[in-house]
Structure 1
């Protein structure tokens, strides 16, 4: 009795080990009959122990003569029996262009150096039946049909075109602004307008601080000083002294009965004309005296302001010079706009090609 038990256990052990090491190779085809040019799929499955290694057959482009391999899919691996067994599936897509019955020989698979084969397969390829008795039923190729017009196909192209137009205008504007080097920003500032005598005295103080006559710049000194007087006379007496000669200004003031106020002014104008046109070189005292004469003329002829009178406002245009940062921003804007425009045209070209092809 004990010997029988040991013998049965031994048989189970041997059968289990043999089952674990068994290898099966199976080939299946999804269609045994196809028409010329149609495709059929062949599945090659190998079941083996998970620790074993399999090498599948390698085909170039022909399975057998007359049967071509179109595609070899990637092997699919599946574990079975708690990862003890392994099932590998390899799929081939085949076709044929000659009608015949093809014999597909067994597929040979190498597993751990040992060759295993599947069963042979057969594939019947039929030609397309042709009705030769009714030749009038054959027609030539149909012309290419044009797809119907759809606005939906053109919306992206039209929208991109409308976007590209303002981008081009903005790009041209930036390029012009960069080339002419003019300021982009202008600000209008409203400031109180100074009375003529105060404005003139402000300019004289500026001349005094520059001290051009002490530096030998006599022509510049007398030009600025007489221009200040001319501007003051224009604002104070309401005639265009800026466009008149020194003699014409003196004569005009004489007509206005300003004899007592212009004697010193006449000396200033005469000295200035000699310096500017005759290269006269007055001494230091004479230069100081002429500056004092200008101040006294302004003080003697100024209009006495009413107490608590509010100064009249005036508009001053302030031009902000273009900074390096502004130039960099302009250049960056030009680059970005250029890329956007080029991209728009590429997109438009691709869309037109697709729609018209």
Structure 2
């Protein structure tokens, strides 16, 4: 008896669940004209959570030959505690015919259901063939008269535009052939000689030129920095003098001890550059320190200054500058004329052709 009741309960539950699933296939209208659209809905009413699989159709495909699917969408609504899900197909046709629409199949929780077979009648527009005189053929292309007076002003403006363009090109060539005149005010920053020298020595330190394989380059740069500093500081041409000549001139105004150290530095540099003498790293560092000390002992108390330099023009350059200014003014006027003439031409053409 328990088995019988269990089987009856299962059958009753299955029948109830099956009764809750309803499939309906309807169409908005069974009759349309060629090119009109109609909606066909495949609706499934089932409990919430039911897995529903609708038939898939791509846009542009045909439901049946002659009936095209142009759009699909899904809609849903609550009906008496159940969920009603609808797949809506937008259909159209361009051939007069009575089309049978097949019953679409849908799966609910793995079980297949089927809608209803429908029909769609496509009609054409009635044409009165008894009275053909009521229909007129398309009009032919009209031959509008050509009036020269309408095109006179655009033609004259076009000629004027051509003349102005030629004059502009001529002025540009004239402007390009003249030598440019630099009349910009320059701001020159003057840095004290000792600051320039110390900055250059710092670059030598960063460049690590005290290694044995770079001794010639190291002493060449170091002595050049000192020569430039001495020339700017003491006012004689140290860049063109020998080491002994530089020392001789420095003895006139300087500490004897500092000059002796500088003399030793120049002698070492001459040996390295011309006699292939090899120094020790400590000796290189000592010479570098002596150079820095010499600069610190002899530097002047100066601050960086800025000088405003305004170039002076000769009479010929002033005349050339005036000519260039005149040409530039004429070019500006030509550019404005070109723009105005082009706008006028476009406006007249718009009036004639519009």
> What TM-score bracket applies, with the shorter chain setting the length?
0.3 to 0.5
Larger Rg: 1
TM-score norm. by structure 2 comes to: 0.38
TM-score norm. by structure 1 comes to: 0.38
